[in-house]
Amino acid sequence: MSKAPLSLLLCTNGIKSGQAALEYGVWLAELLGWPVVLLGVVEQPENRFAVDELVQFTAQRLEQKNIACQIQIEAGEPSQVIAQWAHRGEFITVFGPLGRPAWRRFVQGRSFRHLMAAIETPLLYVPRLRLPLRRILLCLGGLEYGLGVQRLSIYLAKKAGAQVTVLHVVEPVTLDYPIARQVMENWEKILQTETPQGRNLRQAMKAIEQAGLSLDFKVLHGSPVTEILNEARRGDYDLIGLGSPYSAHALRHLYLPNVTAEVAETAGLPVLSVRLDRELIGE
């Protein structure tokens, strides 16, 4: 599969809680040397000044760092406008909280979930600033849907000189079949098994080592959301990488918990989510 050039899509709807995402995007653009589309979304006419102010301030910072920047100001509902723009190129879409009222979050769900469902290219959700990038928690389920986030996390770690911790969480068995029993019975030594999870995790470890990165591996047993959040709190990480449930070409994401969304909404850390279906960057 050919590798497409990437740009950054930095998004704001003018609210203060989204400023961290713009700051992170400026840092990331300088680190990677990628061009930027700076997207301001005006929900109501009275919000126009706040959007313009944030966009112009961010554009000046990008200009100071000699980063190519295209400014776009559009009116509309932020999730819809961001998704429409994300479809126009090969982007990493960088965004923060969009300030949805509690009633809308309850009725419609959080914006992160809408964007994850609508956008096929990588998402970087930044609820608060966490720089420099020193430690990445790369959460792999041991199946192929984690390949996209694995590749991009390695790429970012090499650029930033960050350490990578690979975390695999073995869930309690809900269906009794041979591979599930084998994984469950050997969860503490999953890397030594000939299960699909064991083989894929060994390949991931090899790729990280070949990239010359500092590497750690942890395997835990329990609820993936709970264990990922607990490890994120214990380990003082700066970024969490997770695969997208929409990577899988099956109906599992319709009835299983959306681990990526639940972690992103709770962890308070930048979260990188990547689907499998595109190889976006070189090794």
Average pLDDT, stretch 133-161?
Answer: 90
Kindly list the distances between the CA atom of residue 20 and the CA atoms of 12, 97, 225, in Å, as whole numbers in the listed order: 10, 9, 24
Pairing mode, strands 91-95 and 271-274:
unpaired
Of 183 and 156, the structure prediction assigns the larger pLDDT to 156
Lowest mean pLDDT among 84-93, 107-116, 142-151: 107-116
Average pLDDT, stretch 101-119?
Answer: 66
Q: What is the pLDDT of residues 206-220, one digit of tens each?
A: 999 999 999 999 999
Alpha-carbon distance 231 to 33, whole Å? Answer: 31
DSSP E strand boundaries for 43-140? 69-75, 91-95, 123-125, 135-139
Domain 7-125, second-level architecture = 3-Layer(aba) Sandwich (3.40)
Q: Name the residue ranges covered by the structural domains of the chain.
A: 7-125, 135-274
Helix then strand then coil, in percent of the chain rounded to 5, is: 50, 20, 30
Contacts of 128 (CB under 8 A, 6+ apart): 20, 268, 269
Lowest mean pLDDT among 10-19, 244-253, 262-271: 244-253
- Fold for 135-274, please state it: Rossmann fold (3.40.50)
Average pLDDT, stretch 272-283?
Answer: 66
Matching fold, domains 7-125 and 135-274: yes
The whole-number pLDDT of residue 193 equals: 84
pLDDT value at 235 more than 80: yes
Alpha-carbon distance 156 to 94, whole Å? Answer: 14
Q: What is the pLDDT of residues 36-88, one digit of tens each?
A: 999 999 999 999 999 999 999 999 999 999 999 999 999 999 999 999 999 99
Alpha-carbon distance 53 to 235, whole Å? Answer: 36
